Amino acid sequence: MTRRTDHLKLGAFLANSGHHIAAWRHPLAQADASLDFEHFKAIAETAERGKFDALFVADVVALWGHHHDALSRSARAEHFEPLTLMSALAAVTRHIGLIATATTSYNEPYHIARKFASLDHLSGGRAAWNLVTSVVSDEAWNFGRENHIDHGDRYQRAEEFHDVVKGLWDSWDDDAFVRDKSSGQYFDPGKLHTLNHHGEHFSVRGPLNVARPPQGHPVLVQAGASEAGKTLAARVAELIFVVHHDLAGAQAFYQDIKARAADFGRNPDHLKILPGVTPFIAETREQAQALFEEFQALIDPVLGLRLLADTLGDDIDLSAYDLDGPLPETPVGQRGSRRDKVLELARKENLSIRQLYLRLAGGNPLIGTPADIADSFEAWFQSRACDGFNVFFPYYPGAIEGFVDQVIPLLQERGLFRREYEGRTLRENLGLPRPANRFSRS
């Protein structure tokens, strides 16, 4: 396999006290970080010092869980609305991309097109939209529904939702706003395009009341892992988030998605795949392992069990079963790729209920010295298992500071990562082309 000469792309997952579910309890983490803007600002500054491509913030449009006993043992009950947080961070950063999550299941396309176009202008071309169809079914209860929209229907809606949003972003030619004081013409009406969309889910006339975004349109991010999710990602995504547990699986996914993108007539290089990874780093491997275990030991069993039940299907009660025994017969739950993966993992490795929830809660840990982490990144990148990583820092701020001070220089020395940002926009830094306006004549 020829050695790659392009650079790794790196995202930092902004997660309150840290990505580890028990992070808020650990002495290295800040327990009251969730709504502390100074905390997020400091992380953003560190990420930018490390030349990260982007910050990423996830979202659930509900209290993240309705089992309050379990929820009360986590820091998940409060979090900023992503576009609001990213707008504030846009003002205190200069280079780093800002990836905010918004669901297509409980939103309207006009709102989303407008908000992300605004963030792109506010940030000088650094906005990205993580398009999700909502994994947490509780969201339905906040939007006039008794049940979550069915998985297949969610993706059908998402396909059309995306097309409408993208159409709205093309409402104006790039040079539509002439603002000619002498003629009195503010914009050229010939460069304004009305979408007039009438589809199965949406009727949207347009145009958008925001000029074409600096990036043409914000970078599109997607993380679907089901067939429908992968199809949508291959058609529209420019960045893909995914979680893998082994190199071979990651390589197969990479090849599959890039081939699907080519089938859609796209250049596969214009779609970057970033698996999530949780680095636990210390001077020695033993210390790193001990650090990981400190975090795992802080997971309350009530919370761990709930996490597992949520993944397997909302209504499953596992409390009657022996924690150190196997899972009961295949439980019935909402169809979804995450659930299937977890069931497969339990079967393959013969895990007890406790081992399974610890595995789930532990995320995707990468445990070792800074050189181990750099070796692993290099191996995955060079063997075409990924184009970079979405780093799930287990605790903040120490984990990202350590990574920037100790791992980034190794990646740079090996020619795997930038020393300076290549451009001004997220697109330029990711090596993605600026899309043409579909309506433009010029």
Binding site for ligand FMN (CB under 6 A): 58-60, 101, 103, 132-135, 223-226, 229, 241-243, 276, 336-338, 390
Smallest gap from residue 264 Cβ to ligand FMN (A): 17
- Minimum CB distance to ligand FMN smaller for 33 or for 61: 61
Q: Is residue 333 a contact partner of residue 312, using CB atoms and an 8 Å limit?
A: yes
Which structure tokens are listed for 275? 């698996």
**Three state DSSP letters for 367-416:** EECHHHHHHHHHHHHHCCCCCEEEECCCCCEHHHHHHHHHHHHHHHHCCC
- Rounded Cα distance between 435 and 166, Å, is 11
Report the largest interatomic distance among the alpha carbons of the chain, rounded to a whole angstrom: 80
Instruction: Pick between residue 87 and residue 390 the one whose CB is nearest to ligand FMN.
Output: 390
Q: Which is nearer to ligand FMN, 242 or 408 (CB)?
A: 242
Q: Residues 315, 319, 321, 322: is their CA dihedral positive or negative?
A: positive
Q: In Å, what is the CA distance from 27 to each residue of 62, 143, 397?
A: 29, 38, 12
Q: Which CB atom, from 291 or from 391, has the smaller least distance to ligand FMN?
A: 391
For residue 260, give the amino acid letter.
Answer: R
Minimum CB separation of residue 258 from ligand FMN in Å reads 18
As measured in angstroms, the least distance from the Cβ of 436 to ligand FMN is 28
Give 93 or 133: the residue with its C-beta nearer to ligand FMN.
Answer: 133
Nearer to ligand FMN, 57 or 113 (CB): 57
Token couple for 241: 């988030």
Q: How far is the CB of 53 from ligand FMN (least distance, A)?
A: 14
Strands (DSSP E) found in 289-344: none
Q: How does strand 197-198 pair with strand 203-204?
A: antiparallel
What gap in Å lies between CA 262 and CA 400, rounded to an integer?
Answer: 35
* Closest to 84 in 3D by CA, of 70, 98, 72, 94: 98
| Cβ at position 287, least distance to ligand FMN in Å | 27
Contact between 170 and 212 (Cβ < 8 Å): yes
Nearer to ligand FMN, 2 or 147 (CB): 147
Closest CA to 315 of 303, 333, 298: 333
Complex with ligand FMN: residue 123 or 390, whichever CB lies closer: 390
Determine the residue type at 226: S
Q: Which is nearer to ligand FMN, 89 or 208 (CB)?
A: 89
Beta carbon nearer to ligand FMN, 13 or 172: 13
Q: Which residue is nearest to ligand FMN (CB)?
A: 229
Residue 225 C-beta: closest distance to ligand FMN, Å: 4
- Shortest reach from residue 48's CB to ligand FMN, in Å: 21
Tell me, letter by letter, the H, E, C secondary structure of 150-217. Answer: CHHHHHHHHHHHHHHHHHHHCCECCCCCCCECCCCECCCHHHECCCCEECCCCEECCCCCCCCCCCCC
Q: Which of 19, 258 has the CB closer to ligand FMN? A: 19
Parallel, antiparallel or unpaired: strands 388-391 and 127-132: unpaired
The least distance separating ligand FMN from the CB of residue 87, rounded to whole angstroms, comes to 17
The one-character DSSP state at 46 is H
CB of 192 to ligand FMN, least distance (A): 34
CB of 154 to ligand FMN, least distance (A): 8
CB-based contacts of 220: which residues, under 8 Å, 6+ apart? 128, 129, 131, 162, 236, 237, 238, 239
Query: At 13, which helix (H) or strand (E)?
Result: strand 9-13
Least Å distance, CB 6 to ligand FMN, is 22
